[in-house]
Homo-oligomer: A and B are copies of this chain.
């Protein structure tokens, strides 16, 4: 089934907002055997009409996002109705639901808001739990003189689209998809190895397997290896991948590194605290993004100033004066100090120079010390990530989490 995603919104093409819909939709339809063949972003206005018309022939299933809201530049609903030759009619249930929604939240009703209850005749309404604009589904009309594909019109804000997709779109897709089209895919998330090393380790042997599609994707601090094919060929490929990459694989699902860590800590009934300088709270943020993190995560100390390192973590002023705040000695003292304060089983500590300022010849921007205390001797790794500030934080937290992952594997 040929699937096309059309994202509308001038704000997307002006770069004001990041388009996250493709990632979400692609992941959700994959288990149904569906893959997006093409994705297109167009500004508001007549461009939506062109993109729809062009893809009525190309696609059997089209997801349109955006342009269903209350403002004057939201015209997806109107253009779709016009293209399909359908009237727009008010949906009484939607009117009630929008009115109730506003009342609960103490928001005053306006004409513009009520316009969202207009529905092309015959369309199925997909309720919106997190906003006032409902989604719409128009079934394919493949036998008509001018054939049209299955059409889903979905709201632009991700927090409206995503629950709607899971609750209303997926069940409809399950009905319209022929299950025998499904194919299989496995992915391996690898940490601590570069992309070309991963390919060198497994590439030749995997390419020798007939009917295997292979993809590598380098992300910040990790490489994802993806294999697609029949379940038979995937079994063979899996043996090769596991034999050659073994301990560098941290996940074979969509679980990210922090989710794996939180799960493993919970399984071992262990707890974690973090003491952060250069990563500035990002390590705590990644860990607390995992639902249920409160079971294992006790505390984070973002000791950005020297005073905070001294008063909160018990780092000695002498250690900072002698070695500098960015040093092996201070990283170790932060980890040990936070362990004493928090009583956690494990502590990860980071100190370094994220940049753009603060570097020196001896300790250039990108220098990082990552320490792990608990479950054995306290260890410190000296690393170097000469990059921008946010990438630095990503790479340094990734290295810290991997240090803990390696220790957890040995316990």
Against B, the Cβ 8 Å flags (1 = close, 0 = not) of A257-291 are: 00000000000000000101001111111011101
Tell me which residues across on chain B come within 8 A of A390, comparing CB atoms. 289
Given that A13-B39, A18-B23, A23-B18 are known contacts, is A281 also in contact with B300, CB under 8 Å in the complex?
yes
Copies in the complex: 2
Q: Is B159 touching A388 in the complex (CB atoms < 8 A)?
A: yes
In whole angstroms, how far apart are the Cα atoms of A343 and B145 in the complex?
75
Given that A24-B15, A38-B40 are known contacts, is A342 also in contact with B308, CB under 8 Å in the complex?
yes
In whole angstroms, how far apart are the Cα atoms of A51 and B303 in the complex?
50
Q: Is A304 touching B297 in the complex (CB atoms < 8 A)?
A: yes
A296 to chain B, nearest CB (A): 10
Q: Is A203 touching B293 in the complex (CB atoms < 8 A)?
A: no
Against B, the Cβ 8 Å flags (1 = close, 0 = not) of A94-123 are: 000000000000010010110000000000
Q: Which of A29-37, A79-87, A375-383 contacts B (4 or more CB under 8 A)?
A: A29-37
Q: Is B159 touching A220 in the complex (CB atoms < 8 A)?
A: yes
In whole angstroms, how far apart are the Cα atoms of A203 and B112 in the complex?
11
A219 to chain B, nearest CB (A): 6
Tell yes or no: A179 within 8 A of B by CB: no
Q: Which of A146-154, A210-218, A233-241, A316-324 contacts B (4 or more CB under 8 A)?
A: A210-218
Tell me if A's interface is mostly helix, strand, loop or mixed.
mixed
Against B, the Cβ 8 Å flags (1 = close, 0 = not) of A38-60 are: 11111110010001000000000
What residue in chain B is nearest A194 (Cβ atoms)? B107
Q: Is B207 touching A72 in the complex (CB atoms < 8 A)?
A: yes
Q: Is A157 touching B289 in the complex (CB atoms < 8 A)?
A: no
Tell yes or no: A69 within 8 A of B by CB: yes
Tell yes or no: A12 within 8 A of B by CB: yes
Tell yes or no: A292 within 8 A of B by CB: yes
Q: How many residues of A contact B (CB 8 A)?
A: 106
Tell yes or no: A78 within 8 A of B by CB: no
Q: Is B112 touching A199 in the complex (CB atoms < 8 A)?
A: yes
Tell me which residues across on chain B come within 8 A of A276, comparing CB atoms. 281, 284, 300
Q: Is A291 touching B218 in the complex (CB atoms < 8 A)?
A: no
Q: Is A299 touching B288 in the complex (CB atoms < 8 A)?
A: no
Tell me which residues across on chain B come within 8 A of A37, comparing CB atoms. 13, 43, 47
Q: Is B287 touching A298 in the complex (CB atoms < 8 A)?
A: no
Q: Is A70 touching B217 in the complex (CB atoms < 8 A)?
A: no
Q: Is A13 touching B18 in the complex (CB atoms < 8 A)?
A: no
Q: Is B25 touching A217 in the complex (CB atoms < 8 A)?
A: no
Q: Is A282 touching B285 in the complex (CB atoms < 8 A)?
A: yes
Tell yes or no: A409 within 8 A of B by CB: no
What residue in chain B is nearest A51 (Cβ atoms)? B38
A213 to chain B, nearest CB (A): 8
A68 to chain B, nearest CB (A): 12
Known: A19-B23, A291-B355, A291-B357. 15 other contacts (CB 8 A): A11-B224, A13-B37, A14-B30, A15-B24, A17-B224, A38-B47, A71-B199, A71-B203, A73-B215, A73-B216, A107-B194, A276-B300, A298-B304, A299-B312, A308-B342
